[in-house]
């Protein structure tokens, strides 16, 4: 709205607020996602204390995220303000599970099978309970919340599978090459 003296006053309505949210997501979302991934990567690099460990954990993370995005694309899911938040959350979860398996393996001096036997159940149970929590969004009346629940649940399952199936294979490969 234009006032006397040339001052322009922005008015707010549902449409203008929604348009600003979409513009903000398009402008800030990719940067926030990249920064969250880099922050997780830095923590993993320092926490693992080894190049091979960091590579193994980050490979499992990237694979879980790739499966998540691929599944969303396959299902024709579109990113919106709510489900976009699932990606940085998936980075945290997707690094925690493989890190727990890796760290147990490190404590057991490279015994990947025992590591998986000792920590795999805890990782699977944690993933299951988190997936159940996300699945509660599937019955929401809001399609955006349903979309968030679907994407977050997919990320949870994908990252747990990467940590429990792919990561041990990577760690076994690294252990054999070291010998």
For the chain, domain boundaries: 35-178
Composition of the chain by helix, strand, coil, percent to 5: 85, 0, 15
Residue 109 to residue 114: CA distance in whole angstroms? 10
- The SS3 call for residue 79 is coil
pLDDT at 90 over 70: yes
Distance CA 95, CA 163 (A): 8
pLDDT at 179: 55
pTM of the predicted structure, to 2 decimals: 0.82
**Residue scoring higher pLDDT (1 or 54):** 54
- Residue, of 177 and 142, whose pLDDT is higher: 142
Residue 32 has pLDDT above 70, yes or no: yes
Using the predicted structure, report yes or no on whether residue 120 has a pLDDT greater than 60: yes
* Torsion 95-101-107-111 (CA) sign: negative
Q: In terms of pLDDT, which residue wins out, 16 or 95?
A: 95
Only one residue has tokens 């349903």, namely 146
Please state which architecture CATH assigns to domain 35-178.
Answer: Up-down Bundle (1.20)
Rounded distance between C-alpha atoms, residue 66 and residue 61, angstroms: 9
Helix (H, G, I), strand (E, B) or coil at 8: strand
Task: Give the integer Cα–Cα distance in Å for 106 and 176.
Answer: 15
Q: How far is CA 123 from CA 30, 117, 159, in A?
A: 29, 11, 10
């Amino acid at each position: 709205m234009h006032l006397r003296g040339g001052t322009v006053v922005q008015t707010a309505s549902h449409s203008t607020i929604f348009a600003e949210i979409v513009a903000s997501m398009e402008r800030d979302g990719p940067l926030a996602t990249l920064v969250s991934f880099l922050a997780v990567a830095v923590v993993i690099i320092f926490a693992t204390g080894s190049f091979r460990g960091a590579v193994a954990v980050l490979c499992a993370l990237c694979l879980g995220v790739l499966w998540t995005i691929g599944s969303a694309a396959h299902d024709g899911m579109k990113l919106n303000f709510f489900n976009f938040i699932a990606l940085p959350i998936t980075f945290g979860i997707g690094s925690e599970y493989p890190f727990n398996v890796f760290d147990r393996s490190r404590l057991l001096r490279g015994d990947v099978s025992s590591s998986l036997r000792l920590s795999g159940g805890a990782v699977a149970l944690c993933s299951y309970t988190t997936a159940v929590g996300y699945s509660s969004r599937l019955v929401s009346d809001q399609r955006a919340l349903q979309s968030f629940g679907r994407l977050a649940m997919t990320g949870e399952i994908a990252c747990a599978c990467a940590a429990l199936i792919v990561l041990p294979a990577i760690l076994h490969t690294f252990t054999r090459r070291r010998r």
